[in-house]
C-alpha cells in the first residue's frame, strides 16, 4: 500500500517582508539563488517569498521533521521551490532533507501554493513506496 504524508503551512506576507527588508542575510539563508531571482522578478517579491517559505515549512511537516537540531535555517536551503515548464511549482530536495525523504521512501511530491488577503499558504503531499520507513 502506498503511504501518503501531508503538510500545510500558512505565512503572513507582512512578517516575511519585515524580516526580509531588515535582514538581507535572512533571505540568503532561507531561499536559494533561484528562488530569490524568481521572486525579485515579480511585482511583489515578498508575496512569492512567503509562499516559498510556507512550502518549505509544509515539506518539513510532511516529512515529520522540524527545525530543532538542524542548525536553524540550514534545512531551508535543502528544499527549493522550482517551476516546471508549465509554471506549476515543484519541490527539489537535496542534502539532509533528501536523505530523510529517501529514508521515508518518498517517490513523488506534490506542491500547491496560494496567496490571498496578506497570507500565503502551501500544501505538500508526499507519496511513499510501501515498506520500512516512518
- Tens digits of per-residue pLDDT, 75-94? 788 999 999 999 899 999 99
In a domain, 124, yes or no: yes
Residue % of the chain over a pLDDT of 90: 80
| Total count of domains within the chain | 1
- Is 121 in contact with 54 (CB distance < 8 Å)? yes
Q: What is the mean pLDDT of the chain?
A: 90
Please indicate, yes or no, if residue 13 is contained in any of the structural domains: yes
CATH code of the domain covering residue 99: 3.90.470.20
Query: 57 vs 18, 67, 86, CA distance in Å?
Result: 19, 9, 24
Question: Could you tell me which of 69, 71, 59 has the C-alpha nearest to residue 104?
Answer: 59
Residue 133 lies in a domain: no
Q: Which domain holds residue 91?
A: 3-128
Does residue 134 sit within a domain? no
The torsion angles phi and psi of 69, rounded to 5 degrees, stand at 80, 5
Amino acid at each position: 500500500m502506498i503511504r501518503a504524508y501531508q503538510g500545510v503551512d500558512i505565512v503572513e506576507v507582512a512578517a516575511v517582508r519585515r524580516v526580509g527588508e531588515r535582514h538581507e542575510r535572512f533571505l540568503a539563508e532561507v531561499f536559494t539563488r533561484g528562488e530569490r531571482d524568481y521572486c525579485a522578478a515579480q511585482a511583489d517579491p515578498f508575496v512569492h517569498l512567503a509562499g516559498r517559505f510556507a512550502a518549505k515549512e509544509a515539506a518539513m511537516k510532511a516529512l515529520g521533521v522540524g527545525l530543532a537540531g538542524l542548525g536553524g535555517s540550514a534545512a531551508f536551503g535543502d528544499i527549493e521551490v522550482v517551476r516546471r515548464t508549465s509554471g506549476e511549482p515543484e519541490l527539489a530536495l537535496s542534502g539532509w532533507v533528501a536523505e530523510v525523504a529517501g529514508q521515508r521512501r518518498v517517490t513523488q511530491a506534490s506542491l500547491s501554493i496560494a496567496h490571498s488577503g496578506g497570507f500565503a499558504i502551501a500544501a505538500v503531499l508526499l507519496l511513499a513506496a510501501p515498506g520500512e520507513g516512518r
